[in-house]
Every structure is written in C-alpha cells, then in structure tokens.
Amino acid sequence: MTQHVPGPHGRRSGSERPASAREVSMRTESGAAEAETEAGYAVLSPELHDGDRILRCPASGLLRGSLRRAGVPIQERSRLDTADQTLHIVSKPLDDYEDLAVFAGASTAHHDTVSRVVATWSAVTAPRRVLLASPRSFCAGVERAIEIVERVLEDRRTPVYVRKQIVHNAHVVDDLASRGAKFVDELDEVPDGATVVFSAHGVSPAVRKEADRRGLEVIDGSCPLVTKVHSEAKRFAARGDTIVLIGHAGHEEVEGTMGEAPDATVLVETAADVADLDLPDPERISYLTQTTLGVDETADVVKALRAKFPALREPPTEDICYATTNRQNAVKAIMAEADLVLVVGSPNSSNSVRLAEIPGRAGKSAHLIGDTADIRPEWLAGADTVGVTSGASTPPGLVDQVVAALGGLGEVTVEERAVTRETIHFGLPAAVRRQTG
C-alpha cells in the first residue's frame, strides 16, 4: 500500500496560506523584542500564527527531544503567535512546496541553544520514502492484557493494583496509571484483600501462593502463549527431564517460567553458554524458550544444544510466539531497501530490542526509540528511505506520530510492506467477563 503524506506546507488558500519565513522573522525581530523575558524555557508548537496566516511545523515533536537533551525546559502550546515569543524560523524550499519550516520559540536565556537545534533539524529537511513493516505494534496477548486492566478499572471503585508493567511499554503504563491503575513491583506493596492484575509476562507459582495467602483478588493478565510455556515446564519436569530454558536473565517471563520447576531448570542466553552446561542425565533433557527471543539467535542455541545433547527433546510447538516471529520477518522485508530503520518500543521490551538488532547485524543503521522525541537529526542525514516498525507492546499511534513528524521535514511517501495478516484473538478471563457482562 502506498500513500503520500504532504510536507507541512503544501499549497493552501486563504487563512491557511503559510507565511514566508523571511516575513515572519522580520515581524518577530521587530515586534516581539519587547515580549522577551529571561524565563528559562523554550516554547514548542505545531502551528505559528502570523495574523491571518498559519505556518505549520509537524516536526515539533522532533525538536522536543533535541531540546531536552540540550537541557532546555520546554513549554508546549497548541499554537504560537508571532507577537508572543522570540522565534527562530528556518525555511528551505522543497520541490513544489512553499516554505518548509522548523521553528520554536525561546526566551533570551536559551536563544543560542534553540537556534542551534532548529538549524540542525532544518539541515535534514528533504522528501523521504517511509517503508512501514507489517505486522507491527500490538499483538493479541498485549491487547488482551490492556483490555483486562481497562475493564477492571471501569468495574472497580476500589484501587486496582498491577504487579509489574502490564506490558513493556512506558506509554501504555503511563496511560493506565493516569486512569487509576497502581503499578507495583511486588505483592508486599498491595494491601491485603485488594484487587491485583498479573502482567502479560506471567508469574511463578510462588507469587500465586503469596496472593492466595494475602487474600488478594487476582485477575490474571498472563498471555496464553506464556501460560503454554509454563504448562510445558511443569510437564517436562514431571517426567524427570532437566529443562534448559533459553532466555534473558532477569526478564519477568523467564523468572515466572523458571519458578514452575526451579530445581529442574537451567538458563542459557547464548550458544556460547551451552559449552559450560554439565547436566546430570544427558538422555533426559528438554528445552523451552522465552516467547520474545530473536528467531535466528535461538536457532543457534538449539543447534549447540543438539550437538552437545543428541537426545535433546523439544516442545511440541514453537515457543517463540507468532507475533515475535511475524515482526522479525516484517523488519527483514524492509531493511534491505532502507537507509535507516526506526523501531518504536521501550528499551525493556525484549521483542522490540530484538527488532532493532536484526538490521544492525546486517550493517544497517537502526535505532530503538520510545517515541518521536528520541529521533536524532544526524540519523536522518542522507537517509532517503526510512524503515519504520514497532514492537508487539507498542501502541500503533506512536508509529503514526513518527510518520507525521518525518512529514514535517518534507513530503513523505509511505509504503506498507505486509508479510502476513494476523487474525489471532484471545478471550478475556472468566472473572472479567462475569464482572462486565
């Protein structure tokens, strides 16, 4: 699918005709000087109003990150007026568009810094092609977990606690917290008898026992595909196997899975770790994996395990989840054509981190970003084609914001590359269905 996203200043008529940068700059320098203050902040806005004319800056989100990294406090507004602030306007003609502007307001204290930031972003204005990987963003397990918290919040007058982040994305957690969810690290932070939601990453039997002992009302948000791995761990341990769990130490999913059979499970992270394994019965070994691992790296670990333990037994179906695999295949489908790959996701999201590693290993410039504010202008220098994708716990709106921000630097042509279509849906827990039925 291909679509065109105009830059910020296509031809307009009437009140939406963009003012010229020269005209605005002159008006600002003469008319706004008296309004300058020593207040220590910069002002960002997607619109600059000069009388009845409007100059637009969809790239204001990009400036936000640069100014914060430079230590400049920011005040954001829905619009700026030329009489309000000292403004720094930089324009660059682009094809058939009128003035392509990147702008911000600044008090005297940050004049030079804001000028430098605006000029840096103006230097990378250019038309670009954006390749959108598909599938991207929310998977069925993430959608289910978020909906569980939303429904419980709607149904309860008492506080709703969530153990750990419901999914690994700061924007999701902040949104749910703003609606009343109380996120805690451990159950000892939850009052006796309160309602607690377990995260999508699953929990160990020890956590469940503690919740029972404390009389907590538990709503389980564990992804069904994580629950499947837990079931396999219990079954493999019951038949007397040593379980080799492939995963990342400290990840909540790994801690929950190992808790199912702690005395029978060993953890390996890389193929190199396999060489150090000394297991009691080489004829009775099974392996399991974290659901969000890199497919290629995991295959290397399994290959090393088979070489050392020929009798190795595997799970009946793949443990790396469909969403992780699909998103990795999708980023592979766009990275060959991309000069730069942006992966939207939080740094504690395993599947998002894996997506950024894939093009990096192929020698491509690739970066994991939380949102538009993390994008840096030097990444875009010479990048005519930008690949964009996101992890399974990333809200789709964050990807839309990235594309819109790139459109603030010039006309963007968007092409979506789909490798498959996801139709999986997971039902809600019975307790939630009863409460909201």
Give the per-residue pLDDT at 33: 34
CA distances from 299 to 83, 176, 302 (A): 62, 36, 5
Annotated binding residue 9: no
- Over range 297-304, report the average pLDDT: 96
Residue 408 and residue 118 in contact, taking contact as beta carbons nearer than 8 Å: no
Give the per-residue pLDDT at 298: 96
Confidence of residue 265 (pLDDT cuts 50, 70, 90): very high
3-class SS at 343? strand
Q: Answer yes or no: is pLDDT of 192 > 90.
A: yes
Q: Which two tokens stand for residue 309?
A: 């333990």
Mean pLDDT of the residues in the chain:
87
Confidence of residue 22 (pLDDT cuts 50, 70, 90): very low
Confidence of residue 37 (pLDDT cuts 50, 70, 90): very low
Residues involved in catalysis? 253
Give the per-residue pLDDT at 95: 46
CATH of 140-223+426-436, one of 2.60.40.1730, 3.40.50.11270, 3.40.50.2300, 3.30.450.40: 3.40.50.11270
Residues of each domain in the chain carrying CATH 3.40.1010.20? 130-137+322-418, 225-308
Residues of each domain in the chain carrying CATH 3.40.50.11270? 140-223+426-436
Annotated binding residue 321: yes
3-class SS at 294? coil
Annotated binding residue 110: no
- Over range 101-120, report the average pLDDT: 84
Alpha helices per DSSP H over 246-294: 252-258, 271-274
Annotated binding residue 169: no
CATH of 130-137+322-418, one of 3.40.1010.20, 3.30.479.30, 3.40.50.1370, 3.40.30.10: 3.40.1010.20
Annotated binding residue 57: no
Q: Which two tokens stand for residue 130?
A: 């954006």
Instruction: Give one DSSP letter per residue of 30-51, joined into a string.
Output: HHSGGG----S-EEE-SEEEET
Residue scoring higher pLDDT (97 or 322)? 322
Least confident of 29-33, 61-65, 264-268, 370-374: 29-33
Annotated binding residue 352: no
Give the per-residue pLDDT at 418: 97
Give the per-residue pLDDT at 4: 42
CATH 3.40.1010.20 fits 225-308, yes or no: yes
Annotated binding residue 171: no
Residue 195 and residue 219 in contact, taking contact as beta carbons nearer than 8 Å: yes
Q: How many residues does the chain have?
A: 437
Taking the whole predicted model, whether its pTM rises above 0.85 is answered as yes
